Chains A and B, each alone.
Chain A
Amino acid sequence: MNEHAAAAVHISGVSKVFGKGGTHALDDIDLELQPGEFVSLIGPSGCGKSTLLRVIGDLIEPSAGEVKIGGKTAHQARLDRDYGMVFQDPVLYDWRTVARNIGLPLEMMGWDRRRRDERVAEMLGLVELGGFERHHPWQLSGGMQQRVAIARALSFEPGLLLMDEPFGALDEMTRERMNMELLRIWGASGSTVVFVTHSIAEAVFLSTRVVVMSPRPGRVAGIVTVDVPYPRVFETREDARFFELVTAVRELLRGAPAASAGVEA
Chain B
Amino acid sequence: MRGFGARGLRDWLPPAALFVLGLVAWQQAVNVFDIQRFLLPRPTDIWSAWRGQWGALWSAGWYTFQEALWGFVAGCGAGIAVALALARWRPLGTALMPYAIAANAIPIIAFAPIANAWFGIEQGSKIAIAAVLCFFPVLINVLRGLTSVRPSSIELMRSYAAGDFAVFRKVRLPNALPYLFSALKVASVLAMIGAIVGEYFGGDQRQLGIQIKNSAALFNFETAWAAIIVACILGIAFYLAVSLAERLAMRTYPARGAQG
Contact = CB atoms under 8 A, between A and B. Distances in A.
Tell whether A pairs with B.
Answer: yes
Interface of A: 54, 57, 59, 78-81, 83-85, 87, 89, 91, 93-97, 104-105, 108-109, 136, 138
Contacts of A93: 153, 170-171, 174
A85 B166 contact: no
Nearest to B156: A91
A95 B159 contact: no
B117 interface: no
A66 to B, nearest CB: 19
B152 A105 contact: no
Contacts of B260: 138
Interface string B185-211: 000000000000000000000000000
A44 B253 CA distance: 37
A89 B150 contact: yes
B164 interface: no
B161 A94 contact: no
Interface residues of B, number: 22
A261 B155 CA distance: 39
A108 B174 contact: no
Contacts of A91: 150, 152-153, 156
Nearest to B254: A138
B162 interface: yes
A136 B253 CA distance: 8
A109 B166 CA distance: 12
B234 interface: no
B80 to A, nearest CB: 18
A138 B254 CA distance: 6
B109 interface: no
B253 A95 contact: yes
Given A94-B259, A95-B174, A95-B253, A59 B150 contact: no
B252 interface: yes
Contacts of B170: 93, 104
A97 B160 CA distance: 19
Contacts of A136: 252, 254
Contact of A59 (B155, B166, B171, B254): B155
A89 B152 contact: yes
B90 interface: no
Contacts of B174: 93, 95
Interface of B: 150, 152-153, 155-156, 158-162, 166, 170-171, 174, 177, 250, 252-254, 258-260
Contact of A78 (B150, B159, B253, B254): B159
Contacts of B166: 108
B150 A94 contact: no
Contacts of A138: 254, 258-260
B254 A96 contact: no
Given A89-B150, A109-B160, A136-B252, 6 more contacts: A54-B155, A79-B161, A94-B252, A94-B254, A96-B252, A138-B258
A81 B161 contact: yes
Contacts of B177: 95
A95 B158 contact: no
Given A89-B150, A95-B174, A108 B160 contact: yes
A59 B152 contact: no
Contacts of A97: 252
B158 A87 contact: no
A96 B173 CA distance: 13
Nearest to A136: B252
A79 to B, nearest CB: 5
A232 B156 CA distance: 30
A54 B152 CA distance: 11
A87 B154 CA distance: 12
A59 B252 contact: no
12 contacts: A54-B155, A81-B160, A89-B150, A89-B152, A91-B156, A94-B253, A94-B254, A94-B259, A95-B253, A96-B252, A108-B162, A108-B166
A195 to B, nearest CB: 16
Contact of B155 (A79, A85, A104): A85
Given A78-B161, A104-B170, A95 B252 contact: yes
Nearest to B160: A108
Contacts of B252: 94-97, 136
B191 to A, nearest CB: 27
A70 B156 CA distance: 21
A73 to B, nearest CB: 13
